[in-house]
Amino acid sequence: MKINYSEKFIKKDGVLLIPVFEGETFKNFISFLDLAILKEHIADLTASKEFEAKNGQSIFLYKISKNLPDKIIVVGMGAKKKMSVATVMSGLGAGVKASIAHGTQSLSILFHDSLQEFSQSVSESIVLASYLPGIKYKTGEALEKLVGQSIQEVNVFGEFSAEQKSSFEKGAIIAAATNDVRDWVNAPPNYAHTSFFEARAKEIAKLPCVSLKILEKSKLEKMHMGAFLGVNKGSDVEAKMVVLEYSPKNPVNETPLVLVGKGILFDTGGVNLKPSGHIEDMQLDKAGAATVMATLRVLALIKYPRKVVAIAPFTDNSIGPKAMRPSEIVTAYTGKTIEVLNTDGEGRLILADAVAYGVDVYKPELLIDVATLTGACMIALGERHAGLFTNDEDLMEKLYKAGQDTDEILWRMPIHQDDADKMKGTIADFRNSDTGTSRLAGASKGASFIREFVGETPWAHLDIAGPAYVADPKKYESKGATGFGVRVITRFLEDLV
């Protein structure tokens, strides 16, 4: 998507999107617009209660002036006094979606004074709301229709400071990476396999200051990653661990930060097979790995001043003659043994080896893992919140704030010692699922299991099972993958420096 900036309105084709706040007088709008007739239309609509500028409410105007495009969308932004990242993105997201519905490859948007504080959010909402999930897989007339609605050019006109333009461009980078995650997570397993992600990692590694290691199955065996490889036993595709390192010149701190993401390409549940109604969307289980890879791309593009490592273990959790069975015992990278009581508790197994590797090799200042780990967290928090578990209160507060600042909301969740005790093994060191009370505090138990493999390193676990893949999207999202995590982690990391 190409984004153009101008102080003057120069585009007459496509759709013109005009954000309007409740009680808007237009006195601050740019004078070269033919606003008299526009004011008249909106005044009539407001008087009739057809348009009240409520957040996300939109009105389509057609051929009201020869000096304006034929197609105009007026979108409500709600009350100025209640403006926030969430309301700005919701309002503009609705406006962009309405523009797409009217068929345009060119979108112009008025960037007026009220939005200048939210430059980055304006940009993010435009790029995120422009995402069309079906365009990669549709054919024939359906594809032609989507191509006709695919926004190729955005023209932003208004008064920009250099700082605002920089924020706008950063928002476009972050949102584009978020859309990459949406593509990767929506992609079915016959498209997005280990080779697919290896290719994506190689693309990222072409960026300045980025290097790549691919740990193949033979290397993982030598490293004794038995928990990770146990999950891979039933798969025809060999496990791989993607390790991307971003090392800027003259970093402000030599100690790295590590991100780890769960990369289950498709989760059948293994021998503990998932039932119908739960298995159909299990390509979503790679969202954590996709998120950390895309976040590292963002950090390289915005020239983040600290070293960051993204670790993404990839495998299927499949059924086959060699598949891991309940009651098996595996030995993790740390040398600890784990009783596998439920093969559908596979995410915590691959993360156990991945986080332990990250701690052992990189000695990080902190480690964050991101995973669609538990249905229990989704039941507890729904689709709007991700669960936030940590062993460090300062890390908890900073991540929580970053979530509030980005509308990717993290909710503080507990790890009670009773829950941690239930993950201790009977004949091995640990077990990946408890018995008797397995339906209680499932998200906390999963987090407590991962915590055992990070030692004393400050650590946070983001259980994104709810917001990573949704049936009830926000106005700037679509059904399916949301790319949740890129924006909040980027903000958190920026706040560290």
**284-321 per-position pLDDT tens digit:** 999 999 999 999 999 999 999 999 999 999 999 999 99
Rounded to an integer, what distance in angstroms lies between the CA atom of residue 456 and that of residue 165? 42
Q: Which of 138, 165, 274, 412 is catalytic?
A: 274
Superfamily of structural domain 2-160: Leucine Aminopeptidase, subunit E, domain 1 (3.40.220.10)
pLDDT classification of 112: cutoffs 50, 70, 90: confident
What pLDDT digit, counting tens, does each position of 143-182 carry? Answer: 998 888 899 999 988 888 889 999 999 999 999 999 999 9
What pLDDT digit, counting tens, does each position of 258-294 carry? Answer: 999 999 999 999 999 999 999 999 999 999 999 999 9
Which of 273, 285, 343 minimizes the C-alpha distance to 312? Answer: 285
What pLDDT digit, counting tens, does each position of 3-28 carry? Answer: 888 877 667 788 999 998 887 765 55
* Percent with pLDDT over 90 in the chain: 81
The alpha carbon of 338 is separated from its chain's Cα centroid by a whole number of angstroms, namely 31
Arithmetic mean of pLDDT over the chain: 93
Tokens of 100: 């797409």
Q: Check residue 1 and give its pLDDT.
A: 82
Rounded to an integer, what distance in angstroms lies between the CA atom of residue 51 and that of residue 382? 31
**119-130: average pLDDT:** 96
The DSSP-derived string for 58-90 is EEEEES--TTS-SEEEEEE---GGG--HHHHHH
Which of 15-29, 403-417, 446-460, 467-481 has the least mean pLDDT?
Answer: 15-29
This prediction has a pTM of 0.96
- All structural domains of the chain with their residue ranges: 2-160, 188-496
Residue 465 has pLDDT above 80, yes or no: yes
Q: Is 424 a catalytic residue?
A: no
**95-116: average pLDDT:** 89
Give 137 or 311, the one with higher predicted confidence.
Answer: 311
**366-394: average pLDDT:** 98
CATH code linked to domain 188-496: 3.40.630.10
Is-contact 459 355, C-beta < 8 A? yes
Residue 30 has pLDDT above 70, yes or no: no
The alpha carbon of 212 is separated from its chain's Cα centroid by a whole number of angstroms, namely 22
Q: Which of 170, 262, 286, 348 is catalytic?
A: 348
Q: Is 306 a catalytic residue?
A: no
What pLDDT digit, counting tens, does each position of 211-232 carry? Answer: 999 999 999 999 999 999 999 9
* Residue reference for tokens 């100690």: 255
Asked if the domains 2-160 and 188-496 are classified in one and the same CATH topology, the answer is no
CA dist list (Å): 105 to 99, 102, 148, 346? 10, 10, 6, 43
Burial readout 426-439 (b: 16 or more C-beta within 10 A, e: otherwise): eebbbbbbbeeeee
Rounded to an integer, what distance in angstroms lies between the CA atom of residue 287 and that of residue 292? 9
Q: Check residue 10 and give its pLDDT.
A: 65
**108-130: average pLDDT:** 92
**420-424: average pLDDT:** 96
Rounded to an integer, what distance in angstroms lies between the CA atom of residue 211 and that of residue 205? 5
